[in-house]
Structure 1
Amino acid sequence: MSRTALLVLADGRFPAGGHAHSGGVEVAVAARSVRDGPTLGAFCRGRLHTVGLTAAALAAAAAAGCDPLVLDEAADARTPAPALRATARKLGRQLLRAARAAWPCEALEKLARDLPGGAHQPVVLGVAVRAAGLTTPDAAHAAAFDSVSGPATAAVRLLGLDPFDATVVIARLCDDVDAVVRRAADAASRVADEGVGVLPAASAPLLDITAEQHAAWPMRLFAS
């Protein structure tokens, strides 16, 4: 197992397309609910403990060897907004392309064959983590971290926020991220015995609503 592989996956420079997505913070900035470091921190904390937890559990279950097709259906059921389902699959396609180049293996090739339209990003992430020789908690960590690092990075561009302030937001969420990882990994460990229904289905209805609004904007800086 190479811990460096986890750093590669979590690095914003990994060509998986995340830089083009704001995780909902573009609408929050427009609505003035995110306007500075403290409000960004509150946004990221809420996102982490809802959709971040759900994504971390799906990624962990995929890394544990659960059927990606079953997990992809579970991800669909946990993503009510059509705009967010489309975004998740687009990001999944981009991540799969990068992962196949970095860690070529049959599991990633099979995922590409079985879901040519793209799998949900957390499911692809979990399969990629497994291909890289990493662990179930590693998958949860990568997904949980992505759920806050993406919006924080986007806020730097949207608000002209000092990058130091954005880094402080992420640093202060470290304990929260670790707690989410533990919950996600525990749920993933029980899927084999209890089925995918045991995975968290935490949601953020406002993110669902604003994602649909954002998709209809004629001009926007981020794809989602």
Structure 2
Amino acid sequence: MDLSALILADSRFPGGGHVHSGGLEEAVSRGLLKSEQDLPGFLFGRLRTAGALAAVFAAAATHAAARNVHSAQWRTLDLELDARTPSPAQREASRAQGRGTARAGRLAWPSPVLTALLRETPRPHHAVICGALVGIGGGTSSEAAMAVAYLAISGPASAAVRLLGLDPFAVNAVLARLAEPLREVCAEAAESAGADPADLPAPASPALDLFAEEHARHHQEEVRLFAS
């Protein structure tokens, strides 16, 4: 796996992902997730929906960066992901992480491609900026998809340890057992990387959208551990 993708998938990367639970905090607060036995289903569902969507757009962004597309294409790609993210709270969380990732990316992978992207979309979606950075760094669409799809499940898994006090060794084992579906999601994303942005797949999860909106509302009323 290319170093750029590994760096972006590292929880220590200063992109701000550690303050987002991917809907897990809301699920815990509702009593829908209480133990290690509940975690695999949540993570698999998130991988196949939000994770798959992020993988699709990261792969497309890597493909675009490698081709050095016209700058307007970045805005088109970003807006297509906006259209596939019906929850305003989800969009804000994605753009917040995208902004943090872009800030770190400017220093790590300076490039005219990155300059053009950020000129068109100063607050890009997380998947778009991650994919672009992997492409700038010399990685492939499949590697970009792997980085963001992994983050879609590793972030909530880490949040589960903090929120529920779960055994981190057991939680890590849950992640390891998702290796095959993770590879499938990434392969599917890479296959569509060169498609017109309007034709990219649109996997969705209404439940995660509702969790995000409720979490945002509750976050205004009381202090939550995670921003989303």
Please report the RMSD computed on the Cα atoms of aligned residues, expressed in angstroms. 1.2
Where do 5+ consecutive residues of structure 1 fail to align? none
Structure 2: state its 5+ residue gaps: none
% identical equivalent positions? 46
Corresponding residue for 1:98? Answer: 104
Which amino acid is the alignment partner of residue 19 of structure 2? A
Within-5 A mapping of 1:27-176? 27-65=26-64, 67-116=73-122, 118-176=123-181
Q: How far off is 1:17 after superposition? A: 0.4
1:18 and 2:24 matched:
no
Structure 1: how far apart are the matches of 2:99 and 2:3? 23
Q: CA deviation at 1:115?
A: 1.7
Q: Could you tell me how far 1:197 is from its partner in structure 2?
A: 3.2
Runs of 4+ in 1 over 2 A off after TM superposition: 2-6
Q: CA deviation at 1:58?
A: 0.4
SS in 2 for 1:188: coil
| Secondary structure in 1 matching 2:204 | coil
Partners in 2 of 1:112 and 1:6 — Cα distance? 19
The residue type equivalent to 1:174 in the other structure is A
TM-score normalised per structure 1? 0.94
Question: What is the letter of the counterpart of residue 199 of structure 1?
Answer: L
Amino acid at match of 1:173: L
1:54·1:199 contact (CA, 8 Å) conserved in 2? Answer: no
Equivalent position SS for 2:193: helix
Give the CA deviation at 1:41. 1.0
Q: Counterpart of 1:161 in 2: which secondary structure?
A: coil
CA–CA separation in structure 1 for the residues paired with 2:100 and 2:5: 17
Deviation at 1:199, TM superposition (A): 1.5
Letter in 1 for 2:90: L
Separation in 2, partners of 1:22, 1:13: 15
Rounded Cα–Cα distance in structure 1 between residues aligned with 2:93 and 2:120: 19
> Scaled by the length of structure 2, what TM-score is found?
0.92
- C-alpha displacement at 1:5, in angstroms? 2.7
Structure 2 Cα separation of the partners of residues 149 and 68 of structure 1: 27
Q: Which residue of 2 aligns with 1:185?
A: 190
2:212 matched residue in structure 1: 211
Q: Distance in 1 between matches of 2:88 and 2:40?
A: 27
CA contact (8 A) 1:99 1:128 kept: yes
What letter is aligned with 1:51? A
